[in-house]
Chains A and B, each alone.
Chain A
């Protein structure tokens, strides 16, 4: 059984071109780095101040000053570079990032994203998410298709406070690969064994379903 993380990670990895500069959010988006094709090399940015984000160091080889945006020990690859937070966000807002991959609480058919707070319940703050979504050339959402209680996360209109308005380009879940267009959300690919009816049943927004849909993989 292939995990949702692997299905999603593999599909997103195919969206990148050799040489892209990409920012991966904490959690599921981080896994994308594990599934890159051999002929595609991307550079990862860590918004706390460097490019050239590398893998987790071996135990005992952590450096207290080399952490990712989640505060976890990481490495900086040869060729990497460090900078302050103003330059880091100039990279993010200035259109220098080919893509950002983030999780979502809700996303809607206009491309609106809500992923930073649930009023009265969870207010961690937006951190760098609002800048990433406003500034990256492509915004890719990596998430499980429905919430833990089964309620849909892909909606006609987000009900939670937004992270950004009309910025989402792609939504990738364990069920399918979708593109947000001015007409609505187009179902481009389905995971093996999933039908268009299955995915629509778990989606509040009305999906635009073309005659032929490729298999995601």
Chain B
């Protein structure tokens, strides 16, 4: 059975207050069509988990400019001045997470782990309020998993069963968020028949994917 759906089917899945993971690094590997659907639907009070808030007119940045976010859990906001403005005005809560920690918090949610112990952030403000463990002379912070209602993925190629292939640096967080959300929606540049991809070349198995649209 094909997982390829119409734009309207995706449109229906979004509502106010959702926790949404979005792939991409500075808008490379960000599903722009899916972001545009969220902008069009005007859903509000979203918590977005993504590497960065992109640019004013590009990537996740479009949701910031349109004031649709309540909270952003990200590693970087420096390329979108609107994020900083809303943060300073108290309109948007920003949780800054070291990039490797963000990746692992998402990965461990999808992998069924209760958290991850990382040396990153020890001795900095990142350790505030977190449990610390010291053994073998090294100190680690306990970082907890991040789950989402929906993950929005950008793939270079999808088969109709949801098996995914990415291109170069557009892979980034996409394979990780595909494991950590209740509903996984893919925007693919190219869609091929199930069975036409070599199982060895697939990066994200279709078992994680619920819906696919053409990007």
| A contact set with B: CB distance below 8 Å | 46-50, 63-67, 69-71, 76, 82-86, 88-89, 92-93, 112, 123-131, 134-135, 161-166
| A64, A85, A86, A127: the one within 8 Å of B28 (CB) | A64
- CA A83 to CA B167, docked complex, whole Å: 10
**Interface SS of chain A: helix, strand, loop or mixed?**
loop
Taking CB atoms and an 8 Å cut-off, the chain B residues in 157-173 that contact chain A are 166-173
Please indicate the chain B residues that have their CB under 8 angstroms from the CB of A163 in the complex.
124
| B76, B106, B107, B169: the one within 8 Å of A126 (CB) | B76
* Nearest A residue (CB) for B77: A125
Shortest beta-carbon distance, B40 to chain A, in Å?
23
- Assess whether A125 is in contact with B52, with CB atoms less than 8 Å apart: yes
Number of B positions contacting A (CB below 8 A): 47
Given that A126-B76, A127-B76 are known contacts, is A85 also in contact with B99, CB under 8 Å in the complex?
yes
| B contact set with A: CB distance below 8 Å | 25-29, 51-52, 74-79, 84, 87, 96, 98-104, 106-107, 118-126, 156, 166-176, 203
Q: Write 28 A-B pairs (CB below 8 A) sorted by A numbering.
A: A65-B156, A66-B169, A67-B25, A76-B168, A84-B174, A85-B100, A86-B107, A86-B175, A88-B100, A89-B99, A89-B103, A89-B104, A93-B120, A123-B77, A124-B84, A125-B52, A125-B75, A126-B76, A126-B98, A127-B99, A128-B98, A129-B98, A130-B100, A130-B126, A131-B101, A134-B119, A134-B120, A164-B120
- CA A76 to CA B170, docked complex, whole Å: 13
* Nearest B residue (CB) for A114: B124
Given that A85-B176, A89-B100 are known contacts, is A67 also in contact with B74, CB under 8 Å in the complex?
no
Please indicate the chain B residues that have their CB under 8 angstroms from the CB of A82 in the complex.
166, 168-169, 171
**Interface SS of chain B: helix, strand, loop or mixed?**
mixed
- CA A168 to CA B194, docked complex, whole Å: 51
| B104, B172, B175: the one within 8 Å of A48 (CB) | B172
Please indicate the chain A residues that have their CB under 8 angstroms from the CB of B99 in the complex.
47, 85, 89, 126-128, 131
- Assess whether A127 is in contact with B75, with CB atoms less than 8 Å apart: yes
- Assess whether A85 is in contact with B173, with CB atoms less than 8 Å apart: yes
- CA A151 to CA B38, docked complex, whole Å: 47
Interchain residue pairs A-B with the least CB separation, the first 8: A165-B123, A124-B78, A89-B100, A131-B100, A71-B26, A125-B76, A130-B98, A85-B103
- Assess whether A48 is in contact with B100, with CB atoms less than 8 Å apart: no
Please indicate the chain A residues that have their CB under 8 angstroms from the CB of B78 in the complex.
124-125, 127
Shortest beta-carbon distance, A137 to chain B, in Å?
13
- CA A64 to CA B52, docked complex, whole Å: 18
Question: 13 other contacts beyond A48-B26, A71-B28, with CB at 8 A cut-off?
Answer: A65-B28, A66-B168, A69-B25, A84-B172, A84-B173, A123-B77, A123-B84, A124-B76, A125-B74, A134-B120, A162-B123, A163-B124, A164-B122
Please indicate the chain A residues that have their CB under 8 angstroms from the CB of B87 in the complex.
123
- Assess whether B51 is in contact with A50, with CB atoms less than 8 Å apart: no
Shortest beta-carbon distance, A69 to chain B, in Å?
8
